[in-house]
Amino acid sequence: MELELRSVRRASRRAGRFDPQDAILARRSGEELVGRLGLLNFVPEVILDLGCGAGIESQALARCFPDACVVGLDIFPAPLHPQASAGKWVPILGNANALPFSKATFDLVFANLVLPWCDPVVTLQEVHRILRPGGVVVFSTLGPDTLKELRAAWEEIDDHPHVHPFADMHNVGDALLGAGFTEPVVDVDMLFFSYGELSKLVDDLRALGATNAMTGRRRSLTGKNRWQAFADAYHSSAQQQGRLQATFEVVYAVAWASNRPEASNTGVRVDLPQ
């Protein structure tokens, strides 16, 4: 799968126009990831929130680790959410496929629903590069059953790709090992959302920044007739008890950059791009 960076950036910019609390899937997976950090018996000193958006999870990380330095990186500088404290984190503009940090900078890289919108193999290699020995990455991504109803509806209309081909949990584990990580743990959570109107699902996807960024996508505008045909197909195949169903397969993963350290003897130091 090849993505167009300009389209990813445009989707991120459009997502910034929504209240980040409206991105229900991202907030739910982010809360789950933060909760899992408590199981690691690990106290990081320098944290990267990769794909930080408006800083919701950055703020949660700052509360969990009040002595840590939290750096948030995103491809588009979304407005800081009122609930996020500007004094708790440092926002940086950057690309997950080419992280603007020196080798062995961070103890923890936290990435909530970022991998679907970048090259996951390259990004995991970059994450491994910037982690200190004994550092850890925790992330959520999307599995292949995500939006299967939407994919099936569009397949009745044309042959163009409309939903990204998300990697399954086994491929995620293999990618972690290939990037040099150890002790990867990967699991899946299936979520089912329902909507009264198809437009509400579209709004949720836009708030998530989850629009089609594949280079092979159909470039022309979706006319009224094509959209109605798609809507009819979705209603006929994904309607239950009068509501439209949407499946999201959320993959969670944690892995270590090397053997887990018994104790940390490094000071807090972050080399940020000028």
Domain presence at residue 98: yes
The model carries a pTM of: 0.82
Cβ neighbours around 39 below 10 Å, total: 8
pLDDT for res 264: 41
- Distance of alpha carbon 37 from alpha carbon 33, whole angstroms: 7
pLDDT for res 240: 81
Q: Name every residue whose Cβ is closer than 8 Å to that of residue 242 and which is 6 or more positions away in sequence.
A: none
With beta carbons less than 8 A apart as the criterion, state whether 255 and 136 touch.
Answer: yes
Tokens of 60: 């949660």
Domain presence at residue 151: no
Tokens of 77: 């500088």
Domain presence at residue 83: yes
- Distance of alpha carbon 168 from alpha carbon 163, whole angstroms: 15
Q: What's the average pLDDT block by block, 10 residues per block, for the chain (274 residues)?
A: 56 59 86 94 94 89 93 75 57 90 96 89 95 96 92 83 80 94 95 91 78 48 77 86 91 86 41 46
pLDDT digits (tens, 9 = 90+) for 161-174: 677 778 889 999 99
pLDDT digits (tens, 9 = 90+) for 34-66: 999 999 988 999 999 999 888 889 999 999 999
8-state DSSP, 85: -
* Of 159, 96, 87, residue with least CA distance to 123: 96
pLDDT for res 107: 97
Domain presence at residue 117: yes
Counts for the chain of helices (H) and strands (E), in that order: 8, 8
Q: Collect contacts of 232-237 with beta carbons under 8 A, ≥24 apart.
A: 233/152, 233/153, 233/154, 233/156, 233/157, 234/149, 234/150, 234/153, 234/198, 235/198, 237/149, 237/152, 237/153
Tokens of 115: 């991998």
Distances (CA, A) of 200 to 18, 110, 195, 206, 231: 13, 29, 6, 10, 12
Max Cα distance, the chain (Å) = 63
pLDDT for res 199: 87
pLDDT for res 131: 97
Domain presence at residue 65: yes
Domain presence at residue 88: yes
Domain presence at residue 25: yes
Number of domains composing the chain: 1
Domain presence at residue 209: no
Range of the domain at 41: 5-144+164-191+248-256
pLDDT for res 19: 60
* Domain CATH code at residue 64: 3.40.50.150
